[in-house]
Amino acid sequence: MFMTKKRLALIVVVTFLVSVLITLGGLCFALGLNAPKAAELARFFGVLRLVENRYVDGVDETKLIDGAISGLVQSLDDPHSLYMDENMFEELREHTEGEFGGIGVTMGFKDKKVFILSVLEGTPGEAAGLQADDEIIAVDGTPVTNYQPEEVAMHIRGDVDTNVTLTIHRKGEEGNRDITVTRAMIHVETAKGQMIPHTNIGYIRIASFSENTGKEFGAALDSLQQQGMKGLIIDLRQNGGGLITSCVEIANRVVPKGTVVSVVERDGTKQEYDSDLESPICPIVVLIDGNSASASEILAGALQDTGAATLVGTKSYGKGSVQMVMPLFHDDGVKLTVAKYYTPNGRSIDGTGIEPDVKVELSENATTDTQLAKAKEILEAKLAQ
């Protein structure tokens, strides 16, 4: 007896569906997915197949998956997590492994806006007139809203001696302005020190935490001690952070023995960075502001928690997360937030910032540095005791 065509077609369809379910079931088992997660995975694949088979035009399957991954990462609503396609990931590798042109600014991301946290001295950004707290509206005419926040820096970087035009909005001004900057190799001294005239107080400004900052800070500190320094002001204002290794290297010169910072992952895995300094070197005051971020907050928080310093200024930025870069299978990659920083007393920096011990605002039109003056006053009182 022969089967009818309808029955044969039904058997083929059922066999196909069973095969798909078995395949999906095996995949879910291999990935350790429970029933709800398996259902969500099936929902995704269902939409993927619908688009592939029924969309009015032909589709690029790789492009569909790239878009899905990008949307997944963007849904985290984390400005520091980013999906990078092949071109963007290659740019990141070039910037990380080789030399590239920049303009000498550090940036922060808040409320889906991009701000300049600091402008390094002697850089093209300073020469062009960029200022801390400038909001970047567009890069070469493309609104930053077209990019994920972390992408903006990659579009500002580029070949040496090429130009980039930033559209910025400056606080207190109407409208926006375009500023064109010529990229250059950025080689700056990130830690500089001097004795405050007519005092025994040393002052060290740390502009960022780069590869050589620890050595530069150490050299400045040694020089000040040789000049008879009795108290120290560390200026971390407009310091957007940088390498945690440089931060810990500096902490070993000023933070008493013990934990400097803990890096804690989602599952509770903790990595601690410690200082071996046996005792405080002298009374210290640290200057912070709303643009002191990341490694700046680690150092300030450690000095505050251990009682080794008094913090003066305004609340810091609140960037206390750690990112990792994971290459994928098509020369693309994902930059993902995987941990958070905690101070020695267990305070989370991320989204909260560091509150100063003594709050001092610095008005925009101030003719004197009231925060620095307060730091000096506090140190002189301590040294007089």
Same domain, 107 and 145: yes
What is the arithmetic mean of pLDDT over 105-109? 87
Contact 81, 323 (CB under 8 A): yes
**Which of 149, 165, 182 is the endpoint of a domain?**
182
Whether 374 is catalytic is no
Query: Final residue of a domain: which of 132, 150, 182?
Result: 182
The span from the CA of 169 to the CA of 23, in Å, is 54
Per-residue model confidence (pLDDT) at position 100: 60
Q: 3-class DSSP state for residue 385? A: coil
Residues 120 and 196 both lie in one domain: no
Domain count, the chain: 2
Residue 305 designated active-site = yes
DSSP assigned state of 230:
-
Q: What is the pLDDT of residue 85?
A: 87
- Domain termination site, one of 153, 182, 211: 182
Identify whether 20 is part of a domain.
Answer: no
Supply the pTM of this predicted model: 0.78
- How do residues 151-161 score in pLDDT, each as one tens digit? 888 889 888 89
pLDDT given at position 18: 58
Per-residue b or e along 301-312, where b marks 16 or more CB atoms closer than 10 Å to that residue's CB: bbbbbbebbbbb
Question: Residues 85, 305, 332, 350: which is the catalytic one?
Answer: 305
pLDDT at 2: 47
**319, 335, 374, 376: which one is catalytic?**
319
- Domain extent at residue 166: 100-182
Model confidence pLDDT, tens digit, residues 287-335 = 999 999 999 999 999 999 999 999 999 999 999 998 888 898 888 899 8
Tell whether 258 and 196 lie within a shared domain: yes
Instruction: Please tell me whether residues 259 and 115 are part of one structural domain.
Output: no
| pLDDT higher at 179 or 187 | 179
Q: Is 138 part of a structural domain of the chain?
A: yes
Question: Quick one: 121 and 210 in the same domain?
Answer: no
Instruction: Give the pLDDT of residue 27.
Output: 60
Are residues 248 and 142 located together in one domain of the fold?
no
Residue 2 DSSP class: P
* 276 catalytic per annotation: no
Check whether 32 has a pLDDT greater than 80.
no
Q: Which residue has the tokens 């946290």?
A: 117
Annotated catalytic residue, options 246, 275, 292, 294: 294
Residues, the chain: 385
- Model pLDDT, residue 22: 61
Tell me: pLDDT of 99 over 70: no
Question: pLDDT value at position 1?
Answer: 43
* pLDDT, tens digit (0-9, with 9 covering 90-100), for 224-233: 999 999 999 9
Is residue 4, in this structure, part of any structural domain at all?
A: no
Q: Are residues 178 and 310 in the same domain?
A: no
pLDDT value for 153 = 84
DSSP labels for 154-210?
A: HHH-BSTT-EEEEEEE-TT-SS-EEEEEE-B------EEEEEPTTSSEEEEEE--B-
Q: Is residue 334 part of a domain?
A: yes
Q: Which of 178-182, 213-217, 333-337 has the lowest mean pLDDT?
A: 333-337
126 lies in some domain: yes
| pLDDT value, residue 205 | 96
Asked if 364 and 279 sit in the same domain, the reply is yes
